[in-house]
Amino acid sequence: MAFSSPVPAAERLPVTVLTGYLGAGKTTLLNRILTHEHGLKVAVIVNEFGEVGIDNQLVVDADEEIFEMNNGCICCTVRGDLIRIIGNLMKRRDRFDHLVIETTGLADPAPVIQTFFVDEDLRDELRLDAVVTLVDLKHVELHWDTEEVQEQLAFADVLVLNKADLVSDADRDAIERRVRAINPMARLLTSRNADVPIQELLGVGAFELERALSLDPDFLVGEHAHEHDDAVGSLALVEERPMDLEKLGRWLSDLVAERGPDLFRMKGIIQLQGEARRYVFQSVHMLLDGDFDRSWKVAEPRRTEFVIIGRDLDAEALRASFLACVA
Amino acid sequence: MPKPCEPASWPVWPELPVATSAPLVSERLCGDLQQPISALAWSADGEFLAIASAGGELLLLDFLAGCEELLRGDRDSSLDVVGFSSDGQFLMAAGQDGELLLWELGGTGVRPLAMDPIPLGGGWIDAAAWQPGGLLLAVATGRELRLWDGASRQWRQPPLELPGTIQALAWSADGVQLAASCHGELVLWQPCLSTPADPPLRNPMASAGLALAFSGPGHHLACGMLDRSLLVWPQGCHGQPWQFSGFPAKVRQLAWSEQPGRLAPLLASAAAEAVILWTQVKQGSKAWQPEPLVWHEKRVNALAFAPGSTLLASASSDGSVALWDGKGRMLQPLEGQGCGFNALAWRPDGRHLAAGDANGRWWLWPVAVPPRERQRQRAGAGFRSRA
């Protein structure tokens, strides 16, 4: 299933999904977004147990109700009340420029993300800008092995390492390395008291295909030590030889059919045989999206870069099947 | 006591001969609110029209007195549902604030008396409906279905709990049955009859019911679903529903004609820009014949049959309202000011159509219903004739 919309991105309202474990600083960050002068009128959807202490007509509650559709297919699992509330809110679209959705600390980000691609109204009226995950540098190691923390790290486009003032530089570096092993594509920010420049969070365009991949250059160098196999981890695949689109397409659709629930996000820039343009690709669980992008520039290295973030990844098998797609 | 349903403040429109080329609509009235119109409702006697906006404005037009009153100004918080009790005693409105707003109406020319807003704590309210022929007001607050009794001015206890957020609710035309739907369940409740021995009937469903409508004659129930299907329960809501699938999008709008059909009355459904008119042609499994109504280019946001008639109006984000006959033929498109239409409501006389658009303009068109679309007989006209 492709997840692009026929409606041009510029006509759709940008949406930021804000995740983070309990106590990571989401409420502080939301209050900053709502009160700071940044020229954007932001509407916020909070969960009913939220604590945004601001009386603002653009802060709206939604039930975190999950709709499982198509017999529980994970890619069709969406947040039902979000559809209703956003439908109501969109009648007031001229009152705001950006929508932020806060999830509870224990929520899986995937259904929220998928809602924007699966629901016909939301897909055509909004565009997912980025998933922003707040990480509590002081306490994250206590909850590191919880499914929620791992998923929130894995799905992020922007990772805000918060409470930097409460840990030593060495501790912060260690956590940063662990975070990077799970998610090598997210942009990393460090903050105290959730004080981050708003322009680094809103208007990121992380789900725009042409910005599909911005890998940490260090990540591509050398192998990555996986923690243990059933944990959430990532794999970067780099190949200098051009690939075959047909083989690649078949591999990817087989892969998501078999492993979709364990594949959180994939992104790639593909060099294709006999093609002057880049092919760009991304996925969320079983939702796949790919298209031709601009031509390769003369100065840039022509090569395929592909990142998989998921649970229980078999690096050797994945690398072998990826290499089988070389033209 | 409610007045009989007769046009008092309007000239009697001449009965046009059957000629589809002649315009049905000759002149119009319009006015503006600050924010997009979100809901419209007529009082049962057709003397009042209430208009709500996405900015929380509520305008009351009093046709007999020829005046209008802004009951609430723009307060940057949406109202999404509005309605008159069937005896015309109360006006209700609710929306983003999660409060129930009530006014007591003293009749034409009398200023409505605002009651204290009732906070319900269930988040954004977008589904509420008065009982036809009664004084119960059903309000969906999150996962609870609550009933306010206009006779005692109290809430009935306890509320009915659903397993998910209520997406739609509807009363049967006789005011006996109340249906509510959420993801996974459709509940049928007879709140005036229910005793512990007579619990609400809970039907499991595979998806979420987004729109509910009871037919007047025949007492069928239709439920438009998120999974691009439509369920229709036969007469009396007994037995297995018919299921129609293959819609291009979620089925978000439904309307039944009040005119009795040979079997069921006509049913109209809207999914994205596609309007379909359904006719029951026989009993059994392949009983229904669809007639696609091709005109709209964008999402259809409202459907309404003229009272007692098979004349159908459809309002779309494409900026038009279309009028259709009972065979699915387009009679006339009504153009607005270029922005989408959000809401529609026929005056109970069936000769005036009100609409509201995304720029905050409300429209009122006189409509001469062609004689063949009019009700064959006045009897069995549903709840309005009983009021």
Spatial strand order in the sheet of B201-214: B168-171, B178-189, B201-214, B221-225, B230-233, B242-244
Residue of A nearest to B38 (CA): A91
- Which of A61, A70, A80 lies at the smallest CB-CB distance from B208? A80
pLDDT band at residue A51 under the 50/70/90 scheme: low
Interface A:B, Cβ pairs < 8 A: 61
Residue of A nearest to B208 (CA): A67
| Interface with chain A: mutation pick from B34, B165, B210, highest number of A CBs within 10 Å | B165
Residue A145 clears pLDDT 60, i.e. is over it: yes
Q: Which domains does chain B have, with CATH numbers?
A: 26-122 (2.120.10.30), 123-386 (2.130.10.10)
Q: Please give the structure tokens belonging to residue B331.
A: 């009679």
The secondary structure of residue B341, as a DSSP letter, is: E
CB A112 within 8 A of CB A82: yes
Q: Please give the structure tokens belonging to residue B215.
A: 């037919």
Match 């009859």 to its residue by tokens: B193
Average pLDDT over residues B292-302: 96
Q: What is the CA radius of gyration of chain B?
A: 20
Cβ-defined contact of A57 to B55 (cutoff 8 Å): no
CB A148 within 8 A of CB A32: no
Cβ-defined contact of B124 to A88 (cutoff 8 Å): yes
Chain B interface residues facing chain A, Cβ-Cβ under 8 Å? 35-36, 38, 54-55, 75-78, 80, 95-96, 123-124, 126, 142-143, 164-165, 167, 183, 207-208, 226-227, 249-250, 272, 299, 342, 358
Per the rule left: phi > 0, alpha: psi between -120 and 50, beta: everything else, B157 is beta
Higher pLDDT, residue B170 or A203 = B170
How many angstroms separate the CA atoms of B94 and A2, rounded?
A: 38
In the stretch 267-306 of chain A, residues with CB closer than 8 A to chain B read none
B168-171 vs B320-324, strand pairing mode: unpaired
What's the topology of domain A9-207? Answer: Rossmann fold (3.40.50)
Residue of B nearest to A69 (CA): B207
Q: What is the pLDDT of residues A196-222, one digit of tens each?
A: 999 899 988 888 776 656 665 565 544
The share of chain A scoring above pLDDT 70, in percent, equals 88
Q: Is A318 helix (H, G, I), strand (E, B) or coil?
A: helix
| Interface with chain A: mutation pick from B33, B57, B124, highest number of A CBs within 10 Å | B124
Q: Cα distance from A236 to chain B (closest Cα, Å)? A: 37
Enumerate the residues of chain A whose CB falls inside 8 A of the CB of residue B245: none
Q: What is the pLDDT of residues B175-223, one digit of tens each?
A: 999 999 999 999 999 988 766 667 899 999 989 999 999 998 778 999 9
Q: A165 — contact with chain B (CB < 8 Å)?
A: no
Average pLDDT over residues B3-9: 34
**Nearest of B145, B169, B165, B142 to residue B155 by alpha carbon:** B145
CB B213 within 8 A of CB B221: yes
| Interface with chain A: mutation pick from B75, B79, B96, highest number of A CBs within 10 Å | B96
Q: Does the domain at residues A212-323 carry the CATH identifier 3.30.1220.10?
A: yes
Is-cis flag, bond preceding B158, omega within 30? yes
Query: How confident is the model at residue B24, as a pLDDT?
Result: 44
Query: How confident is the model at residue B38, as a pLDDT?
Result: 97
What's the complex ipTM?
A: 0.87
The share of chain B scoring above pLDDT 90, in percent, equals 72
- Which of B35, B36, B207 lies at the smallest CB-CB distance from A69? B207
Q: A146 — contact with chain B (CB < 8 Å)?
A: no
Written as one letter, the residue type at A186 is A
- Which of A60, A84, A121 lies at the smallest CB-CB distance from B165? A84
- Which of A63, A65, A92 lies at the smallest CB-CB distance from B54? A92
Average pLDDT over residues B120-146: 95
Enumerate the residues of chain A whose CB falls inside 8 A of the CB of residue B169: none
Q: Please give the structure tokens belonging to residue B349.
A: 């006389």
How many angstroms separate the CA atoms of A271 and A278, rounded?
A: 6
DSSP codes, A52-84: -----TTEEEE--PEEP-TTT-GGG-EEHHHHH
Residue of B nearest to A85 (CA): B124
**Nearest of A309, A286, A263, A262 to residue A156 by alpha carbon:** A309
- Which of B54, B75, B249 lies at the smallest CB-CB distance from A120? B249
Query: How confident is the model at residue B64, as a pLDDT?
Result: 85
Average pLDDT over residues B75-86: 95
Query: How confident is the model at residue A94, as a pLDDT?
Result: 85
Residue of A nearest to B75 (CA): A57
> A306-310, B64-68, B322-326: which has the minimum mean pLDDT?
B64-68
Q: Is B353 helix (H, G, I), strand (E, B) or coil?
A: strand
Residue A123 clears pLDDT 70, i.e. is over it: yes
Enumerate the residues of chain B whose CB falls inside 8 A of the CB of residue A85: 123-124
Average pLDDT over residues A26-44: 87
Enumerate the residues of chain A whose CB falls inside 8 A of the CB of residue B226: 67, 69, 80
Query: How confident is the model at residue A95, as a pLDDT?
Result: 86
- Which of A57, A62, A65 lies at the smallest CB-CB distance from B77? A57
Query: How confident is the model at residue B193, as a pLDDT?
Result: 78
Q: A250 — contact with chain B (CB < 8 Å)?
A: no
Model confidence, pTM = 0.89
**What is the domain partition of chain A in residue ranges?**
9-207, 212-323
DSSP codes, B222-243: EEEETTS-EEEE-GGG-SPPEE
